[in-house]
Chain A
């Protein structure tokens, strides 16, 4: 079941122009997760991610601490909820956190895509799914 909260919805709201950037952003995360699956988590920690002290870098460090997806979810939700961010930037951080949870669970690229795509909004999510799965069955809204 997906819960709903008016305050959170308001906080996540962003413009159409901003939403248009999300599929590309999600694809970037999927590629990064591919690299992680090939080289292991240690190949990313200590590499370029260290330069970006964002929640993704910290999330990966917490995965390597062996924290379970449930624990990570609680910790990362606290970081997000107590942050001062709103709008597009908040939404981007939420997508990062969803990706961290997927990586912590050992999700495949396909499963991760299905978890992240809904953040782009229904229309863009279907387009993204279609673009990422050219051989798969076409899904229409």
Chain B
């Protein structure tokens, strides 16, 4: 909530009206005749109280740029780089910022450190704008923020007037697209789903926002360059695309193939939730169109109602390929139960078998369901001769599912 962030800033900044300042209250709706008038009034400018002469603004921008480039080199080359920058720097604020970054200070202590060094406005430093810019920049650098984030945040103190200028500078220094990056292809359906034109640009854009940069980058890290470019063209500016490339590189170096694959699945699920008839659902529809719904209900019911111990024995005693093919005729909730009863190594085998599974005809599915039901019966059957003499005691619904599956032709 922006109010909380504003409260924080109002505590830290000296926001008393300045002598001869430009504090102003613009006309409200009661005094403006049309919405257009209002928009124009808002559009005029959101001038910063730190707005300075062009010459002074250029100095602030130059300082911020110098700082961000040093931080960028530090992030690439290590601590020695920022120590060297601190040694060479003559400007007190920059020198102190570099020293703090080189030390093991936490981001929370940065403001206090500036205050103690007499470099904050509350400690008497004469240039509040410069001081706030470097407190913010140093805190973000210590928190390992991307240089683009640091530059955008530092220059926010100068107002929106420098926005475009900062963008040009960022594009020049950090806007390189990663065309030369090697592709890493993780098998999955994400590329296909995104390129099918089944989803609107709005849905893809929305999924990107909901997923956040880290998940989006991780899920695209295993996709082709073509897919990455498609997402960039729909949801990112040129600078945003470069930042995404950076995050993708980071994800590839930090995450395992399994984790990238998990990220793809999570992103697909997100896309599915945005689409009433999502690709996942469509695939399920395509599968289920050839499947007898009552067979699905019986298999799912059987799996859900079986005692956990019995189900574990059944899963352990059947071929992963058979279980994988049966998954075609199960409700999702039954998948979960089935996998929860399989040790992780067996789950992996079932998933591998699932990838290789072809769509089966109803007859083939029925045969596999019957094998499954027979295995269930053999697990339920008494193991002693004495017990075998008695009739099998089963809950009515379980008996019904078994009978229904085994009586099919």
A106 vs B233: C-alpha distance when bound (angstroms): 18
The A-B contact count (CB < 8 A) is 206
A127 at the interface (CB under 8 A from B): no
Closest to A21 in B: B29
| A56 nearest CB across to chain B (Å) | 8
Q: Are A80 and B6 neighbours in the complex by a CB distance under 8 Å? A: yes
Shortest C-beta distance, A67 to chain B (Å), equals 7
- Whether the pair A73, B212 counts as a contact (CB closer than 8 A) is no
Cβ of A94 to closest chain B Cβ, rounded Å: 6
- B2's partner among A37, A73, A88 (CB-CB below 8 A) is A73
Given the known A-B contacts A15-B28, A18-B29, A78-B157, are A65 and B237 also in contact in the complex, defined by CB atoms under 8 Å?
Answer: yes
Given contacts A83-B48, A89-B28, A104-B209, contact A97 B2 (CB under 8 A): yes
Q: For the complex, is A129 an interface residue (Cβ under 8 Å from B)?
A: no
Q: Kindly specify which of B10-18, B313-321, B387-395 makes contact with the partner chain.
A: B10-18
Using an 8 Å CB-CB cutoff, how does the interface string of B269-306 with A read, 1 for contact, 0 for none?
00000000000000000000000000000000000000
Q: Measured between alpha carbons, how far is A82 from B241 in the docked complex, in Å?
A: 29
Which residues of B (139-170) have their CB < 8 Å from a CB of A? 145, 148-149, 152-153, 156-157, 159-160, 163, 167
By the criterion CB–CB under 8 Å, are B2 and A98 in contact?
yes
Q: Does B5 contact A (CB under 8 A)?
A: yes
By the criterion CB–CB under 8 Å, are A106 and B46 in contact?
A: no
A25 CB to nearest chain B CB (Å)? 8
CB distance from A79 to the nearest CB of B (A): 5
The answer to whether A135 has its CB under 8 Å from any CB of chain B is no
Residue of B23, B28, B136, B236 near A17 (CB, 8 A) is B28
CA distance A94 to B42 in the complex (A): 12
Interface string of A112-132 (1 = CB under 8 A from B): 000100000000000000000
Q: How far is the CB of B124 from chain A (nearest CB, A)?
A: 20
The answer to whether the Cβ of B213 comes within 8 Å of any Cβ in the partner chain is yes
User: In this assembly, does A3 line the interface, its C-beta being within 8 Å of a C-beta of chain B?
Assistant: yes
Q: Which of B4, B25, B153 contacts A2 (CB 8 A)?
A: B4
Whether B47 lies near A83 (C-beta < 8 A) is yes
- Whether, in the assembled complex, A29 has its beta carbon less than 8 Å from a beta carbon of chain B, the answer is no
Closest to B150 in A: A71
Q: Which of B201-215 contact A (CB under 8 A)?
A: 201-202, 204-213
Q: Are A5 and B235 in contact (CB under 8 A)?
A: no
In the complex, the answer to whether B236 meets A85 with C-beta atoms within 8 Å is no
Q: Report yes or no: A89 in contact with B25, Cβ–Cβ below 8 A.
A: yes
**Which chain B residues lie closer than 8 Å to A63 at the CB level?**
209
Q: B205–A87 contact, CB under 8 A?
A: no
- Cβ–Cβ contact B148 & A65, under 8 A: yes
> Count of chain A residues with Cβ under 8 Å from any Cβ of B?
67
The answer on a CB contact under 8 Å between A82 and B235 is no
Q: How far does the alpha carbon of A85 sit from the alpha carbon of B7 in the complex, in Å? A: 16
Q: Which single residue of chain B is at the shortest CB-CB distance from A22?
A: B29
Asked if A66 contacts B28 (CB within 8 A), the reply is no
Most buried by A among B2, B4, B233: B2
Task: Kindly identify, within residues 66 to 82 of chain A, every residue whose CB is under 8 Å from any CB belonging to chain B.
Answer: 66-69, 71, 73-82
Contact of A65 among B24, B136, B202, B243 (CB under 8 A): B243
B122 contacts the other chain (Cβ, under 8 Å)?
no
**A52 at the A/B interface (Cβ < 8 Å)?**
yes
> Given A17-B28, A18-B28, A65-B236, do A79 and B160 touch, yes or no (CB 8 Å)?
yes
Contact flags B234-269 to A (C-beta < 8 A → 1, else 0): 111101110110010000000000000000000000
Docked-complex contact A66 and B152, CB < 8 angstroms = no
- Least Cβ distance of A112 to chain B in Å? 12
Indicate whether A53 reaches chain B with its CB closer than 8 angstroms: yes
Q: Which residue of B lies closest to A4 (CB)?
A: B7
Do the beta carbons of A40 and B160 come within 8 Å of each other? no
Q: Is the CB of B46 within 8 A of A55?
A: yes
Q: What are 21 A-B pairs with beta-carbon distances under 8 A?
A: A3-B8, A5-B6, A21-B29, A21-B30, A40-B234, A40-B235, A51-B43, A65-B239, A67-B148, A76-B156, A77-B5, A77-B9, A82-B48, A82-B49, A82-B157, A83-B47, A85-B25, A87-B26, A94-B3, A103-B209, A115-B1
Going nearest first, the 10 A-B pairs with the smallest beta carbon separation are A106-B210, A21-B29, A106-B209, A77-B5, A40-B205, A40-B201, A88-B28, A18-B28, A78-B156, A81-B9
